[in-house]
């Protein structure tokens, strides 16, 4: 219990809120690395995932590639990329590592969102004369959005947790207090840094859970209550 109190005392100490390694600065670095990595991963994974979901082709390859990417240890990959690209390319090596980490979840969210749609809905849209682009933008994309947001949610949480290793290569972020505190045996600092990363992940998860709920089309959210209301209205009145 004393360690937790010491960790909170460390977090709220005035010296942790000023200077080059102030917690707000480290938080900004952490979020910047996370957003850049996820945006680049989304630019790669989402078009591929949508194409797979729309055409129904290439799913096996996508699953195999995603599984292989998930199996790669992030820290080992980052060190390998630093050695291959050179010490002057450390930021690029870190971003490539985090991009590869985010791609599987984004890819899965994109194509499973489209695959989960009832094929009769797609066939009805085509029967109405919609082009393939209209089917995708007006039917598939809105209906597949909840699962896509779920993929973004998983990718962001994975990257937020893994960006802590960026401090090993002097890129800052919230991993810095953890990595600096271990050799110094400053366990209050280590725990304080871990708590901040955990709280950040929980806040992001909560926001994206709300976004995922909001992404469900209104008709699907209200369909079940509406059917129940119709059933009640259709029920015969008691004699």
Amino acid 116: pLDDT: 86
Please list the rounded mean pLDDT of every run of 10 residues in the chain (239 residues). 84 87 92 95 93 84 79 84 84 91 91 87 88 87 90 93 89 89 88 93 94 80 49 45
Amino acid 195: pLDDT: 93
SS (H, E, C) the chain: CHHHHHHHHHHCCHHHHCCCCCHHHHHHHHHHHHHHHHHHHHHHHHHHHHHHHHHCCCHHHHHHHHHHHHHCCHHHHHHHHHHHHCHHHHHHHHHHHHHHHHHHHHHHHHHHHHHCCCHHHHHHHHHCCCCHHHHHHHHHHHHHHHHHHHHHHHHHHHHHHHHHHHHHHCCCCCHHHHHHHHHHCCHHHHHHHHHHHHHHHHHHHHHHHHHHHHHCCHHHHHHHHHHHHHHHHHCCCCC
CATH for 2-230 is 1.10.3720.10
Amino acid 222: pLDDT: 60
Amino acid 229: pLDDT: 43
């Amino acid at each position: 219990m004393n360690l937790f109190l010491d960790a909170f005392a460390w977090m709220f100490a005035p010296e942790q809120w000023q200077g080059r390694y102030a917690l707000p600065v480290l938080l900004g670095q952490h979020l910047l690395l996370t957003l850049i990595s996820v945006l680049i991963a989304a630019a790669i994974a989402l078009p591929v995932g949508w194409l797979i979901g729309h055409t129904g082709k290439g799913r096996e390859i996508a699953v195999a590639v995603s599984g292989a990417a998930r199996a790669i240890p992030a820290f080992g990959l980052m060190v390998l990329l630093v050695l291959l690209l050179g010490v002057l390319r450390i930021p690029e090596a870190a971003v490539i590592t985090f991009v590869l980490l985010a791609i599987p979840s984004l890819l899965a969210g994109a194509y499973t969102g489209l695959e989960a749609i009832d094929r009769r809905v797609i066939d009805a849209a085509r029967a109405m004369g919609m082009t393939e682009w209209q089917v995708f933008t007006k039917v598939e994309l809105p209906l597949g959005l909840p699962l896509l947001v779920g993929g973004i949610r998983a990718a962001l949480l994975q990257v937020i947790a893994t960006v802590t290793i960026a401090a090993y290569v002097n890129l800052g972020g919230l991993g810095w207090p953890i990595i600096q505190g271990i050799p110094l045996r400053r366990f209050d600092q280590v725990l304080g840094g871990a708590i901040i990363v955990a709280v950040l992940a929980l806040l992001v998860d909560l926001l994206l859970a709300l976004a995922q709920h909001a992404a469900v089309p209104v008709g699907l959210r209200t369909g079940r209550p509406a059917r129940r209301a119709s059933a009640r209205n259709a029920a015969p009145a008691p004699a």
